[in-house]
Amino acid sequence: MRVVIGDRNLSPHRKLFESLIPPHTDVIWHNRFDEAAIASDLADADVYVGGRFTAAMAAAAPRLQLVHVAGAGTDNVAFAALDPRTRVANTFHHEDSIAEYVLSSAIMLRRGFIAQDKALRGGLWSTSVYDDALGQPLSMNGAHIGFVGFGHIGSKSWNHLRALGCSGCAVTGRGTIDPVATGLSWAGYAADLTRLMTESDIVVVSTPLTEHTRGMIGPDEFAALGSDGVLINVGRGPLVQQEALFDALSSNIIRAAAIDVWYSYPSPDGIGDPGQLPFAELPNLLMTPHASGVTEDTFVGRVRDIADNIRRLERGLTLARTVR
């Protein structure tokens, strides 16, 4: 069996991965995504592991049995180009790490710590203790959290936030969340998004990116969230309209945002702007490089899942977490 790996996040765990897959498996590692270089190794490949799989790669891989994404999202897989016999699987394990990000960014932005940090670096003690024009910030106790999407990430984040005395609600595409069982105030469909934005102090976006969810948060939703509202996006950048996000922050239509997922991504050397607008100029924005789920715990768990599916494939067993 030949396995081609095109995800550099797995490289630190190479020894573990190779200890878990069937003996004598031929593994080819690529530490950067180079479409042509990867495609040249796919002619005899049975498995490709990586977050991006293009039509050109599919054309170069006539015997490929499995595309295994090294994460949850499959929006960068060219499904239409795949042979119908090629299966696609994903893996998770990022929910604990992302929930930590949601919790920490919610506290930092609701309490105004980012603005205070910037001010103090310039010698200004930006607190109501010294400035009567500044109000006393609110704690998380009593904050209402709205979840747009309530899967692994949303439910784990809710477990942390409810422990601080928050209340919550959620909207999902299927609308199948039981509010009593989850401890939410209510749960509904995507059609209830405006209600969620209006009622929430903090909105956590983690729904998958599809043709139905792309651009689902725009000017009307930000207006509903209001000037004290905080947005945290850990799903996909295009779930939120780019210009609307910039306008909402620059015009103080909302209080602040934490954005970990973006509209454009860098070259393999990690250099590049995250969007077409000057987000870096905004003082009320926490910018992170799609790193909320990037921890050792996340990728050790993913390595184990991927290796398990390769063993299953080799033995002719049913694969886990297939998405087609």
**How does pLDDT run across 214-246, given as a tens digit for each residue?**
999 999 999 999 999 999 999 999 999 999 999
> 227 is written with which tokens?
């000037």
23 and 121 belong to one structural domain: no
Nearby residues of 154 by Cβ (< 8 Å), 6 or more positions away: 147, 170, 204, 206
**How does pLDDT run across 32-77, given as a tens digit for each residue?**
899 999 999 999 999 999 999 999 999 999 999 999 999 998 989 9
In the chain the first and final C-alpha atoms are separated, in Å, by: 22
Domain harbouring 158, CATH code: 3.40.50.720
145 and 282 belong to one structural domain: yes
146 and 273 belong to one structural domain: yes
127 and 187 belong to one structural domain: yes
190 three-state secondary structure: helix
- Closest C-alpha to 252, from 288, 216, 287, 223: 223
250 and 146 belong to one structural domain: yes
82 three-state secondary structure: coil
Rounded Cα distance between 8 and 21, Å, is 18
67 and 202 belong to one structural domain: no
31: in domain: yes
104 and 89 belong to one structural domain: no
- Closest C-alpha to 170, from 142, 189, 143: 189
pLDDT of residue 267: 87
Average pLDDT, stretch 96-120?
97
178: in domain: yes
The DSSP-derived string for 58-78 is HHT-TT--EEE-SSS--TTB-
How many structural domains compose the chain? 2
Read off the DSSP letter of residue 144: E
83: in domain: yes
81: in domain: yes
pLDDT of residue 304: 98
281 and 198 belong to one structural domain: yes
Its domain, for residue 160, covers: 95-287
287 three-state secondary structure: strand
231: in domain: yes
88 and 116 belong to one structural domain: no
322: in domain: no
Q: pTM to 2 decimals?
A: 0.93
134 and 74 belong to one structural domain: no
Assess contact for 122 and 115: CB atoms under 8 A.
no
186 and 37 belong to one structural domain: no
The rounded radius of gyration (Å) of the Cα atoms in the chain is 22
Q: Is the pLDDT of residue 269 over 90?
A: no
Strands (E) across the chain are located at 2-5, 26-29, 47-49, 66-68, 87-89, 144-148, 167-172, 186-189, 202-205, 230-233, 256-259, 285-287
Read off the DSSP letter of residue 262: -
323: in domain: no
Assess contact for 38 and 30: CB atoms under 8 A.
yes
321: in domain: no
142 and 210 belong to one structural domain: yes
**How does pLDDT run across 137-166, given as a tens digit for each residue?**
999 999 999 999 999 999 999 999 999 999
